Chains A and B, each alone.
Chain A
């Protein structure tokens, strides 16, 4: 994942350079494309890091021969409820 962080940083850097005034509108649109690419990488990386953390947690439970605690379940449930609240507020695309 470190490679992806570096790639994202590189794309962000290229985006700044491409927005140089001498490149004009073309540079501006290239900058926007680069920003979108960096954003997509960062989002994917974010999800992968969270999944990796979950895998590590389940591995730790398996190695310690223990099941999830009440607090661990409650923490997941609270996160789910908050995400669900945000998603529920999305309106219909064609009302």
Chain B
């Protein structure tokens, strides 16, 4: 009976994870800002899942520590991405008002690209840590 239950349990867990894997917010984006939003949003979804897991008594202390450490690695990069977004919103408003050049906008967009590719692997590590803990 327990063996059958285990099979059902793992098959279901696999189904849930497969469903998660097929949902890629980044693939729906068409602009750099949408792509950054999708990445930051993915980070937040999994960070919240990690926060729920560390509050569960059924999760071991070492697993909780792994989740905390994966978040600690990803959070500074995600915050850096947010800082570039703040700059971008400011420069976009300045360009609209005619007080800033489009060259400055191009520089900020290039920084956004750099931060995106710096943040992505760290968010992926957090995603793997959360999926591994489930």
> Are A4 and B75 neighbours in the complex by a CB distance under 8 Å?
no
Q: Tell me whether chain B's interface is mostly helix, strand or loop, or mixed.
A: helix
Of the residues A48, A58, A72, contact of B19 by C-beta under 8 Å: A48
- Closest CB-CB distance, B85 to chain A, in whole Å? 6
Contact pattern, A 36-49, Cβ under 8 Å of B = 1, otherwise 0: 11011101111110
Of the residues A48, A79, A87, contact of B71 by C-beta under 8 Å: A87
- Closest CB-CB distance, A30 to chain B, in whole Å? 7
A90/B5 contact (C-beta < 8 A), A51-B23, A51-B25, A80-B43 known: no
> Are A86 and B42 neighbours in the complex by a CB distance under 8 Å?
no
Which among B44, B49, B82 has the highest number of chain A CB atoms within 10 Å? B44
Give residues in A with beta carbon < 8 Å to B: 1, 4, 7, 30, 33-34, 36-37, 39-41, 43-48, 50-52, 54-55, 57-59, 61-62, 65, 67-68, 70, 72-73, 76-77, 79-80, 82-84, 86-88, 90-94
Give residues in B with beta carbon < 8 Å to A: 1-2, 5, 8-9, 12-13, 15-17, 19-20, 23-26, 28-31, 33-34, 37-38, 40-56, 58, 60-62, 64-65, 67-68, 71-72, 75, 78, 82, 85, 89, 130, 134
